[in-house]
Amino acid sequence: MEVKTYTFTPHGDDRGQLIALEEYKDFPFSVKRVYYIYDTLAGVVRGHHAHKCLKQILICVHGSCKIHLDDGHDTAEVLLDTPNKGLFIANDMWREMYDFSPDAVLMVLASELYDESDYIRDYDEFKKFVASKESEK
Ligand code: T46
């Protein structure tokens, strides 16, 4: 399966690093919401869902974590361990986040405001969603 990652350019100088992200230039959507996940306990797996519409960029701005992706047919694992790497996750992708380092801060840029009705939290429902989208093509 195709995994879309971005390598962002740090504006480094003798003071340190700065990364700037601009919508449609550095990633392909407009941001309506930013959230971040931190203080994740050892062994915790978050996520376990897909979305009906939401697009997101995940950036582990400190520490590291892994992302399990499932498009309904294939799976992939992505390590996020540097603040200049972004992972694009389309709506129709089942995701789980795990192996958080104790210092991990996972920042997410989201294309929509928070909407619980956009979540697909049941895996069988997700498979049906994927199948219905494929039958429309
Ligand atoms: C996703 C992965 C990568 C809010 O009130 N507003 C928000 O914007 C978000 C994202 C969550 N919440 C509340 C809802 C729950 O009571 O925060 C609590 C934890 O959310 P959730 O269990 O959905 O968190 P994760 O880590 O399982 O999933 C999150 C996002 O929800 C999801 O869209 O793709 O991160």
**Distance from the alpha carbon of residue 84 to the mean position of ligand 1, in angstroms:** 23
Percent of the chain with pLDDT over 70: 100
The yes-or-no verdict on residue 41 having pLDDT over 90 is yes
Domain map of the chain by residue range? Answer: 4-8+19-136
33 half-sphere exposure, CB direction, 13 A CA radius: 11
> What is the position in ligand 1's atom list of the atom closest to the CA of 47?
27
Distance (Å, whole) CA 112 – CA 109 = 9
Q: pLDDT at position 15, please? A: 98
Predicted confidence at residue 137, as pLDDT, reads 83
- Give the CA distances from residue 91 to residues 7, 31, 74, 126, in Å, rounded to whole numbers and listed in that order: 21, 14, 15, 11
Q: Which fold has domain 4-8+19-136?
A: Jelly Rolls (2.60.120)
* 62 a catalytic residue: no
